Amino acid sequence: MGRNKFIIIMSVSALMFLTGFVIYSVTSDAPEKNSYYVKGSVSASTVSPSAIKYEINTETNTYNSSTIEYDDNIINEDMVNMEENLPTGIPWTPATEMDLEPSSITVFINKEYGLPKDYVPYKLVEPNIPFDIPHYEERKLLHPEASVAIENLFAAAEKDGYVLYGISGYRSYKRQHNIFIDNIVKKGKKHTLRYSAVPGTSEHQTGLAMDVSSKSLRYKLTTAFSTSPEGKWLADNAHHYGYIIRYPKDKADITGYAYEPWHIRYVGKDLATYLYQNDLTLEEYYNYIPSEEFNFEEEYSDLINYTPTPTPTPTPTPLPEDLDEAEEDLEGEETSEEELSENDDTNISEDEEPNEDNISNDGESNDDITDHESSDGGTIDDNDNTKTTEDESETEENLPIDDIGANNFKEDNEDDMNNPGVTPTPTP
């Protein structure tokens, strides 16, 4: 009896051992579960080469990776969102040095620290906000992060009953240059340097700045915006969305620019709130002091002292009829003073100058004036013989005055003889 009991116990033990071995063999291929384990995927370290299936697209000859190849490439969306929302545990602290990296959202740009001429943000997008123009233009673009922030800013303003409009965002170096030179020429150096940045020193080139206005101001950029309902709301709430009024009132001596309530700059919520609460500009935040070797007037002398090249006034080309009249005037000028006078019995040579009284102010001779008007507005008698016509024969021009008079008297008497009852009148 004791021997049978021993056999039964051994049999049960062996059965239990085999059962445990089978269970262990079945479960040993499953990965150990941890906080990074995602159901439906396996760790790359537990996958044998034969377990990986390579799918080749025969049409495009491209490789399609297996959905279970790497677990760190298959991250649960809920886990990502959860990790982003977790507090980092690192509180925000003010910067200890100046940020001069062009692509940084906290970059410091002013008259001394500018941007390269060829700098363009790696990506620019058009925010979904109201603009003063319906069509596409470069000035509608912004840095992607600044674009999202301004959409939230404008939406919050509209929710509170205020409609803001974007006027000018990104501004390329070329456009900065055109605007600056235009202001120098039209508004002068003093005004331009108070409101317009020298090319390469504008925050607009970073894609982080936007000029804002309202419909009530007809979309103009004016200091009156600060007293408008929209301007007041913007000044009080911009920092909640990462924006600051970049050039505030009464700080022109610090920023180098006059008060611009319309110019907002994106710096992120933390820095924007810090600057707003402490009433600081970026110059004060970064403890900016102009370098001793920096001379603004010398650095940008060619731009700020720009003088446009005067355009010469073209000489009008005379029309063909004007040329004919000019030739007639020259012929008329050859007539001597003596030939125009009844009382002078002396001949003049062809070398003497023509009488200036026979030329009107506009350069035309009196021959062009009507028969009944003189050059000074008086009336010319129809019987005046002082005007010599071009029809006079060459013979008469070469005869002495007395011979010309005698010849005229003979012709007059012959005419009178043909008209009975008319007494011939002698020529003086």
Centroid of chain to Cα 59: 49
| 298 close to 335: Cβ distance less than 8 angstroms | no
Cα-to-chain-centroid distance, residue 171: 7
Buried residues in 83-102 as b, exposed as e (16+ CB within 10 A): eeeeeeeeeeeeeeeebeeb
Is residue 210 within a helix (H) or strand (E), and if so which, with residue range? strand 209-213
Strand arrangement, sheet containing 209-213: 165-168, 209-213, 260-266, 243-247
List, in sequence order, every beta strand (DSSP E) within 233-323. Answer: 243-247, 260-266
**CA dist., res. 215 & res. 324, Å (int):** 61
Residue type, 421: G
Out of 55, 97, 138, 260, pick the active-site residue: 260
Q: Which three-class secondary structure state does DSSP give residue 25? A: helix
Report the relative pairing of strands 243-247 and 260-266 from DSSP bridges: antiparallel
Q: Percent helix, strand, coil in the chain (nearest 5)?
A: 40, 5, 50
Task: Tell me, yes or no, if 260 is annotated catalytic.
Answer: yes
DSSP β-bridge partners for residue 125: 142
388: amino acid identity, one letter:
T
- Active site residue ranges: 260
